[in-house]
Amino acid sequence: MSRIGKKAVPVPAGVTATVDGQKVTAKGPKGELFFVANDEIKLEFKDNAVSVTPANQTKDARSKWGMSRTMIENIFKGVKEGFERKLEINGVGYRASMQGKNLQLALGFSHDVVYQTPEGITIAVPKPTEIVVTGINKQQVGQVAAEIREYRGPEPYKGKGVKYAEERIVRKEGKKK
């Protein structure tokens, strides 16, 4: 039994939700998102909440139950508040700047890395060593943040590189004489 799947997903104030077969659509102040559930999941809209149940008691249906509920909850939160991921840059000469809609990163390579911002994502650079990725789709925000971090991930000796703001780098000790 999925503990998270048992709970119905309440529709927040300011968000309109519709369930059409296996498709849940949410409209809010930030935009519109939809989620198409697997055929092994049943969706019901009642009492201003979406309830998710497995269509049968197979292992496959039960494994998709909690994930489907979480995806629906994420689209509701996304269209109401949106999602945000912060990245920090550490290292001498490492910095970020916006060049129109593109993110320009100086990460110690012979050339600057230019990252093109995908549709539906906003990237802000409040400080040269800080990047804020925002959007309404949680998966897309996380993917963009991971792609930016991938250019120069944090190294374990001095911690230089791009890391998530909440990430803790396990440091290694250097060579001994």
> What was the pLDDT predicted at 163?
95
Rounded Cα gap, residues 94 and 118, in angstroms: 23
The pLDDT mean for the chain works out to 92
pLDDT digit string, tens, across residues 112-140: 999 999 999 999 999 999 999 999 999 99
Q: Is the pLDDT of residue 1 over 70?
A: no
What's residue 2's pLDDT?
67
What percentage of the chain exceeds 70 in pLDDT? 99
Domains of the chain, each with CATH number or no CATH:
9-80 (3.90.930.12), 83-164 (3.90.930.12)
Type of residue found at 111: H
Burial-class residue 62 by CB neighbours within 10 Å (0-12, 13-18, 19+): middle
Q: What is the pTM of this model?
A: 0.88
Sign of the CA dihedral running 121, 66, 73, 41: positive
Encode pLDDT of 93-105 as tens digits: 999 999 999 999 9
